[in-house]
Amino acid sequence: MRTRIQPADLFLRQAVELIRAGGLVAFPTETVYGLGADAGCESAVRSIYKIKGRPANNPLIVHVADVAAAQAYTAKFPRSAAALAETFWPGPLTMVLPRNKRICPAVSAGKNTVAIRCPNHPVALALLRESGCPIAAPSANLSGHTSPTTAQHVYDDLHGLIELILDGGPCTVGLESTVLDLTTEVPVVLRPGAVTPEMLASCLAAADMPDGVQVFSGHGVKTAADELKSPGLLESHYAPRTPALRFYASDASRLHRYMQDCGGKRIGLLGLESFAVPPGMSEAVILPADDQACARALYQALRDLDHRRCDVLLIQCPSDTDGLWPAIADRVRRATKEMPI
């Protein structure tokens, strides 16, 4: 199959026709590019799993054009969901809610919940409105690989496997949406993103729900119950192909030792702006100091370094706890292994 990257404004109609006919289209959102299909079409949804090589137990996010559509595809839309949607939609917040039968079972991978979000991107919204159906879309990368933040990234992973990639330019957020489970007594953040726990808690408090939110610390936890909660959040993910190790600002001496022990290996480094690149490092990329700019640049930087034929990548994990840093740290942790002592 020949894969084409096309300007989103000129090829929207063709994308709508493909979705309506049970086909697949890659499209931009504000977070990352998605690989979309009609969420009511079982065979189309199954082909998403097949093309990505995605495990059948990892459910997909359903994208909708507005709150009314979200209500139409959930069995219950609690007051908390209404308040959060009012504040954060369209935007990078996905809510896990009880599903109803209008969403085909493959979307939910056998679970009785559905993850649902209204994206804040004119192309995604136009595609949703004109297709007239909810669109199931995971990130448009091969399973486990770094998420795509440009049309070219999608092409690099999926060329030959899909027909059409709508090009809407680089994604403005650059990290996948916050996933919030609203089926538990206190809402739980399953995946951190641009909508932070503090933002969620303050919205809920303003709507008279003062219990706040919990944050699921999925990393390293591997109980059966956690696996069931959100399979995609536990496995190693978002990873470059080159073996990648993480380090922290406080690890400077460990890092130097590791580099000395590496003798002759070609090392690529991804550091934060405050980091002083050690002498002799041939391949280094430095990320911006601002958290939003850093999030936007992260996946491009991982892909760039991956192309430089290094033996190993050393990636700095931020330690800050405000703004987007925890979400960036989450992705870095899941893209890397710990540096050996």
Q: Which residues bind ligand TXA (CB under 6 A)?
A: 29, 31-32, 34, 58-61, 94, 96, 108, 111, 113-115, 119, 137-139, 176-177, 179, 190-191, 230-233
C-alpha 89/C-alpha 92 separation (Å) is 8
- Tell the burial category of 289 from Cβ atoms under 10 Å away from its Cβ (0-12, 13-18, 19+): exposed
Q: Which two tokens stand for residue 138?
A: 């995971």
- Minimum CB–partner distance for residue 147 and Mg ion (Å): 5
- Minimum CB separation of residue 274 from ligand TXA in Å reads 28
Q: Which is nearer to Mg ion, 139 or 196 (CB)?
A: 139
Q: Hey, is 290 helix, strand or coil? A: coil
Which C-beta is closer to ligand TXA: that of 124 or that of 285?
124
Q: Rounded to the nearest whole angstrom, what is the least distance from the CB of residue 141 to Mg ion in the complex?
A: 6
Contact 141, 52 (CB under 8 A): yes
* Cα gap 260→246, rounded to integer Å: 16
CA nearest neighbour of 127 among 139, 136, 116, 115 = 136
318 interface partner picked from ligand TXA, Mg ion, none, CB below 5 to 8 A per type: none
Choose the contact partner of 111 out of Mg ion, ligand TXA, none; CB within 5 to 8 A by kind. Answer: ligand TXA
Q: Which residue is nearest to Mg ion (CB)?
A: 139
Could you tell which of Mg ion, ligand TXA, none binds residue 190, using a CB distance below 5 to 8 A set by kind? ligand TXA
Best CA proximity match to 114, nearest among 175, 64, 166, 54: 64
Catalog residues that contact Mg ion under the rule CB under 5 A: 139
Cβ at position 168, least distance to Mg ion in Å: 18
Q: Which does 203 bind (CB under 5 to 8 A by kind): Mg ion, ligand TXA, none?
A: none
Query: Considering beta carbons, is residue 137 or 317 the nearer one to Mg ion?
Result: 137
Nearest approach in angstroms of CB 58 to ligand TXA is 5
Q: Which is nearer to ligand TXA, 146 or 316 (CB)?
A: 146
Least separation in angstroms between CB 147 and ligand TXA: 6
In the chain the first and final C-alpha atoms are separated, in Å, by 47
Shortest reach from residue 94's CB to ligand TXA, in Å = 5
CB closest to ligand TXA, residue no: 232
Using the minimum distance from each CB to ligand TXA, give the nearer residue, 150 or 316: 150
178 and 195 in contact (C-beta within 8 Å)? yes
56 versus 262: smaller Cβ distance to ligand TXA: 56
Beta carbon nearer to ligand TXA, 216 or 247 = 216
Q: Taking Cα atoms as reference points, which of 40, 39, 117 lies closest to residue 81? A: 117
- Where does 123-187 show beta strands of DSSP type E? 135-136, 164-167, 178-181
Among residues 263, 262, 283, the alpha carbon closest in space to that of 271 is found at 283
DSSP assignment of 255-274? HHHHHHHTTT--EEEEEETT
User: What CA–CA distance (Å, rounded) separates 69 from 84?
Assistant: 15
